[in-house]
């Protein structure tokens, strides 16, 4: 950090701030492209992560709006390319999300009862021949078996009214949304917390550790905000704000990839903190005005700089926390009429219907002996018992062991 402290300091901070806003899940929703263009274009190669973050943000937003269209396919393709740049594997979740999104994009043209009536043919041509054709050409990993299967099914559907009808009536959208949601969740989790936040946590820890020798590592991070005294002025503010916001970070590990930002700020710490805060406020202001005037804020942004809203800065954070109270004055985007779902997402359905009962098998004396041995050695930790003789106990689950033991000796 020292090295880049002088000239590229602001650049790093821009990245951090952008990243921070892109990752937070709360309102106001950030739109990736305006945010990135609002910042000076930081187009170095190490921005891949930031780009991934922004693509994810776009996908999330699209999902929140309920929009699963060909723009989504674009986003997924970009995501794939970025992940290749990062030399990470293309995961199953991305493949199936892409597959189902492609199917959904086609499926939405199956509104007429017969294939030839509407634009189904055009959709096939555009999406499957051209778009996916290009994927095939560059041997993309997105071309999965699943995808190929659907390709042939959809092509068949064009000829066979019966197949057309079946696909037409199936609930593709539900699957597409599920897979996309899954993908987004997985990716957010993979990214961990933002650089800004991990920095804040680090400083928080340092501060907590130094005064008293309480070594409370592990998941001590959680609600640390309250315990810090506010006497530290703006520093404390920053930390609280940052610490409280992100929800999706689940695993509280400081991401390995975050290490590039590792070196801590001990010089000019205060100055940096102050600058960060200014950044946050400024960006917040941009976001506020841009989300308020719908999502085409590119030009709106300029004027809004001076017409900027006023005093509500102070209560802003609280307003966001109670989701929705402030959203009433935001323009609600026009949502496409949702297609009816065969399965209500509200009703908790078991997607795999009740497993057929495992056929009953009596315990052999050998198995019982193994069980006794195991328990003698490990007590009632069934996991260990099973591991102590995995061969004999191969088709007995840990629960089976427990049940059998109960049968043998009452309680």
- Can you give the binding site for DNA, defined by CB under 7 A? 354-355, 357-363, 380-384, 396-400, 402-404, 406-407, 411
Report the alpha-carbon distance of residue 228 to residue 236 in Å, rounded: 7
Residue among 346 and 360 whose Cβ is closer to DNA: 360
- Helices 269-292 + 313-321 axis angle, to 10: 70
Task: DSSP for 87-143, please give it.
Answer: TPPPPHHHHHHHHHHHHHHHHTT--SSSTTTSSHHHHIIIIIIIIHHHHHHTT-TT-
Q: What are phi and psi of 277, to 5 degrees?
A: -65, -45
User: Minimum distance between the CB of residue 108 and DNA, rounded to whole angstroms?
Assistant: 35
What sign results for the dihedral spanned by CA atoms 40, 44, 48, 49? negative
Residue among 316 and 402 whose Cβ is closer to DNA: 402
User: Minimum distance between the CB of residue 356 and DNA, rounded to whole angstroms?
Assistant: 8
Residue among 332 and 357 whose Cβ is closer to DNA: 357
Residue among 158 and 363 whose Cβ is closer to DNA: 363
Report the alpha-carbon distance of residue 94 to residue 91 in Å, rounded: 5
Residue among 230 and 357 whose Cβ is closer to DNA: 357
User: Minimum distance between the CB of residue 366 and DNA, rounded to whole angstroms?
Assistant: 12
User: Minimum distance between the CB of residue 394 and DNA, rounded to whole angstroms?
Assistant: 12
Residue among 166 and 406 whose Cβ is closer to DNA: 406
Report the alpha-carbon distance of residue 282 to residue 321 in Å, rounded: 19
User: Minimum distance between the CB of residue 351 and DNA, rounded to whole angstroms?
Assistant: 13
User: Minimum distance between the CB of residue 364 and DNA, rounded to whole angstroms?
Assistant: 8
User: Minimum distance between the CB of residue 362 and DNA, rounded to whole angstroms?
Assistant: 4
Listed residue (249, 309, 312, 239) closest to 277, CA to CA? 239
User: Minimum distance between the CB of residue 389 and DNA, rounded to whole angstroms?
Assistant: 15
**332 in helix, strand or coil?**
coil
CB atoms within 10 A of CB 151: 21
SS (HEC) of 341-363: CCCCCCCCCCCCCCCCCCCCCCC
User: Minimum distance between the CB of residue 247 and DNA, rounded to whole angstroms?
Assistant: 22
User: Minimum distance between the CB of residue 227 and DNA, rounded to whole angstroms?
Assistant: 28
Kindly list the distances between the CA atom of residue 160 and the CA atoms of 157, 163, 196, 321, 400, in Å, as whole numbers in the listed order.
Answer: 5, 5, 56, 53, 49
Report the alpha-carbon distance of residue 279 to residue 409 in Å, rounded: 67
Residue among 145 and 348 whose Cβ is closer to DNA: 348
CB atoms within 10 A of CB 253: 13
Report the alpha-carbon distance of residue 188 to residue 49 in Å, rounded: 12
Cis amide leading into 410 (omega within 30): no
Cβ atoms of residues 296 and 40 within 8 Å: no
């Amino acid at each position: 950090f020292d090295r880049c402290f002088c000239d590229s300091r602001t650049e790093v901070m821009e990245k951090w701030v952008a990243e921070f806003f892109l990752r937070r899940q709360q309102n106001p929703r950030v739109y990736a492209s305006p945010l990135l263009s609002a910042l000076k274009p930081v187009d170095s190669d190490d921005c891949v992560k930031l780009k991934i973050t922004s693509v994810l943000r776009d996908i999330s937003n699209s999902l929140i709006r309920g929009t699963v269209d060909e723009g989504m396919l674009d986003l997924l393709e970009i995501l794939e390319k970025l992940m290749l740049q990062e030399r990470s594997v293309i995961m199953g979740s991305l493949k199936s999300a892409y597959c189902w999104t492609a199917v959904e994009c086609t499926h939405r043209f199956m509104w007429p009862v017969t294939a030839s009536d509407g634009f189904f043919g055009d959709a096939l041509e555009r999406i499957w021949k051209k778009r996916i054709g290009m994927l095939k050409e560059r041997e993309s990993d997105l071309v999965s078996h699943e995808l190929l299967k659907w390709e042939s099914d959809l092509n068949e559907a064009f000829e066979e009214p019966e197949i057309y009808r079946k696909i037409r009536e199936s609930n593709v959208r539900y699957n597409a949304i599920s897979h996309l949601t899954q993908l987004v969740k997985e990716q957010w989790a993979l990214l961990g917390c933002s650089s800004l936040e991990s920095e804040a946590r680090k400083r928080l820890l340092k501060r907590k550790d130094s005064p008293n020798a309480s070594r409370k590592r592990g998941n001590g991070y959680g609600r640390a905000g309250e315990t810090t005294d506010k006497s530290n002025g703006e520093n404390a503010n920053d930390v609280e704000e940052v610490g409280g916001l992100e929800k999706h970070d689940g695993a509280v590990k400081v991401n390995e990839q975050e290490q590039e930002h590792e070196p801590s700020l001990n010089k000019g710490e205060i100055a940096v903190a102050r600058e960060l805060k200014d950044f946050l406020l400024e960006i917040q202001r941009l976001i506020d005005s841009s989300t308020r005037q719908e999502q085409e804020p590119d030009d709106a942004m300029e004027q809004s700089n001076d017409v900027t809203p006023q005093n509500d800065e102070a209560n802003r954070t609280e307003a966001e926390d109670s989701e929705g109270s402030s959203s009433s004055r935001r323009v609600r985007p026009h949502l496409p009429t949702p297609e009816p779902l065969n399965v209500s997402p509200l009703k908790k359905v078991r997607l795999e219907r009740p497993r057929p009962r495992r056929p009953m098998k009596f315990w052999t004396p050998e198995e019982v002996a193994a069980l006794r041995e195991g328990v003698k050695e490990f007590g009632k930790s069934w996991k260990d018992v099973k591991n102590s003789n995995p061969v004999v106990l191969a088709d007995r689950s840990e629960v089976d062991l427990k049940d059998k033991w109960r049968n043998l000796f009452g309680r």
